[in-house]
Amino acid sequence: MTSVSLPPLFPAVRGTSEEARWPLALLAALVLVLLPTLIFTPAGRLNWVLETGPGLVGIAVLAATFRRFPMSRWVYVCVFLHVLVLTYGAYYTYALTPLGNWARDTFGLSRNPYDRVGHFAQGFFPAFVIREVLMRRTPLRQGGWLGFLTGSVALAFSAFYELLEWWAALMLDPQGGDAFLGTQGDIWDAQWDMFMCLCGATLALLLFARAHTRSIERLAARSAP
């Protein structure tokens, strides 16, 4: 296997206006999606903010660090897709999404499975952000330790998010807290959420690690003096 040679910290990308087209285009598309769902959400604006909060924070961080630490296009696309998943769940609440209701009725499931899909995405898409930061800011370039730490960090974030959900539910009224948690009566919901996140991160690395590495290398080539 060929080794991956990357600088520890990329400089500002040459031709910044051209390089910015991808993240700016994705950001504009997200704004067009997010604003209508915030204004007309049937689940309530508080629930919308709570559910989309992680995605909004991620967008803010990527926007603030774009010039100093631009990420690969792969990462920007993954963040875009993840926010779409979050927004759909936030619009209806995860337990009431029409797509999840269809899957429940069609396959005879005991609950709306979109919450599981959301937590799978919580591991799948952020795994590439974690992996890229590790590859560019640590000596890790490939191999088992890179995958292990990527999965571990994704799982740690998922566990912390479960704590945030718990704290938020304690501070909200019972109805709002239940809608945000979306347990649907499952006492093992938090454990399932973390397990699905770990499955998502693992599958992402198994299927797309090489494609992600190639995207990073293209960014390195565009950033080279």
Is the pLDDT reported for residue 9 higher than 50? no
Q: Which of 6, 12, 2 is nearest to 133 (CA)?
A: 6
In 10 A of CB 24, how many CB atoms?
14
Say how many domains are in the chain.
1
pLDDT of residue 13: 47
Residue 10 lies in a domain: no
Report the C-alpha gap between 62 and 81 in whole angstroms: 15
The domain in which residue 93 lies consists of 16-223
Is the pLDDT reported for residue 126 higher than 70? yes
Is the pLDDT reported for residue 1 higher than 50? no
Residue 11 lies in a domain: no
Q: Which stretch, 86-90, 176-180, 196-200, 218-222, has highest mean pLDDT? A: 196-200
Residue 171 lies in a domain: yes
Residue 7 lies in a domain: no
pLDDT band at 199 (very low <50, low <70, confident <90, very high): very high
Structure tokens belonging to residue 47: 């629930």
pLDDT of residue 124: 98
Residue 156 lies in a domain: yes
Q: Which of 84, 90, 42, 40 is nearest to 59 (CA)?
A: 84
Residue 9 lies in a domain: no
Residue 162 lies in a domain: yes
